[in-house]
């Protein structure tokens, strides 16, 4: 399989390949979810070293139990559940070292929850895969408008096209991306 195929492959496809022994497929699954899972651990524990250890433990469990994965849930939900259970086990193991008062004090979260982070990562992966499928012209216009944050007027000027043409092309490109994303979900 080419690298491009791994990048645009769905989680279900990568899980199937990884379960069959494709280490590269598992690496891409890891890359899609490791930041969100590590963020979960850091948010709950505040320790980067411990978070790294728990992240490694989580993905070892994921790897060992790939054959148990059911498409009844998204892969992200499944990984998050394993991570949450790993965290609960860790907290239980160290519960003797923590005072009762400390157990009930939780800092206010200012960042997305772990579930939201997983969903954001999934949506980003779908968006990037859909963007890669667009024609070069539509892809460039979408990148300029939404990733580089150019105004419609700036895009028209840079591409030397009429403003109304740019507006129409952006609307059509957005519709095409939305259609592709919905087809993937």
Q: What is the 3-state secondary structure (H, E, C) of 75-139?
A: HHHHHHHHHHHHHHHHHHHCHHHCCHHHHCCCCCCCCCCHHHHHHHHHHHHHHHHHHHHCCHHHH
Q: How far is CA 83 from CA 30, 38, 126, in A?
A: 13, 9, 23
* Cα–Cα distance measured from residue 144 to residue 158, given in angstroms and rounded to the nearest whole number: 10
* pLDDT at residue 97, rounded to an integer: 60
* pLDDT at residue 101, rounded to an integer: 60
8 Å CB contact between 144 and 133? no
Which residues, including other chains, have CB under 8 Å from residue 28's CB and lie 6 or more apart? Answer: 6, 7, 9, 14
Pick from 52, 36, 11, 13: which is nearest to 111 by CA? 36
Q: What are 139's two structure tokens?
A: 């892809």
pLDDT in tens, the chain (185 residues): 777 887 888 888 888 888 888 888 889 889 989 998 988 888 888 777 788 889 999 999 999 988 888 888 888 899 999 999 999 888 888 766 655 565 556 565 667 777 777 877 887 777 788 878 888 998 899 888 888 888 989 999 999 999 999 999 989 988 888 888 777 66
Pick from 113, 125, 49: which is nearest to 80 by CA? 113
Q: What are 58's two structure tokens?
A: 């989580």
pTM (2 decimals)?
Answer: 0.51
Domain boundaries, the chain: 3-110
Pick from 141, 122, 126, 139: which is nearest to 183 by CA? 126
Domain over 3-110 is classified CATH 2.120.10.10: no
């Amino acid at each position: 399989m080419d690298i491009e195929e791994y990048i645009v492959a769905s989680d279900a496809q990568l899980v199937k390949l990884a379960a069959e022994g494709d280490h590269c497929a598992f690496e891409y699954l890891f890359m899609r979810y490791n930041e969100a899972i590590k963020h979960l651990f850091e948010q709950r524990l505040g320790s980067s070293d411990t978070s790294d250890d728990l992240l490694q433990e989580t993905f070892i469990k994921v790897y060992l139990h790939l054959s148990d994965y059911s498409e009844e849930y998204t892969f992200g939900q499944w990984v998050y559940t394993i991570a949450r259970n790993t965290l609960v086990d860790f907290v239980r193991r160290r519960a003797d070292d923590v005072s009762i008062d400390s157990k009930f004090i939780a800092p206010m979260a200012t960042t997305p929850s772990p579930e939201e982070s997983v969903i954001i990562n999934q949506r980003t992966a779908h968006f990037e895969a859909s963007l890669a499928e667009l024609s070069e012209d539509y892809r460039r216009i979408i990148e300029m408008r939404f990733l580089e944050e150019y105004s419609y007027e700036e895009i028209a000027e840079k591409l030397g096209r009429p403003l109304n043409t740019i507006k129409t092309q952006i609307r059509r490109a957005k519709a095409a991306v939305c259609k592709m994303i919905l087809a993937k979900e």
